[in-house]
Structure 1
């Protein structure tokens, strides 16, 4: 792997990976909406 171009890119990528791990573990609050994992991710990313 060539590495990251700068610290900002590394921070954004790693926070997205951590967010997906939190969603799959069920640590994000659903608030009764009943979204899939992908829908939760897109709602948080938007």
Structure 2
């Protein structure tokens, strides 16, 4: 593995990995009454 080129890249990549773990575990806050899929939750963060 080549590693991270700088601290900023490492922070962004690791943050994304942590968010995906939170979404998969159901720890992401969602509006009451809605049950979005994992892809929909991820997309809502990007937009």
The number of aligned residues is: 46
Q: Which runs of 4+ in 1 moved over 4 A?
A: none
Q: Mind listing any 5+ residue stretches in structure 2 that lack a counterpart?
A: none
Q: Mind listing any 5+ residue stretches in structure 1 that lack a counterpart?
A: none
Give a deviation string over 1:1-25, Cα, whole Å, max 9, x none: 0011110000000000000000111
TM normalised by structure 1 equals: 0.86
The 5-angstrom pairing of residues 1-46 of structure 1 reads: 1-31=1-31, 32-46=33-47
RMSD: 1.0
TM normalised by structure 2 equals: 0.84
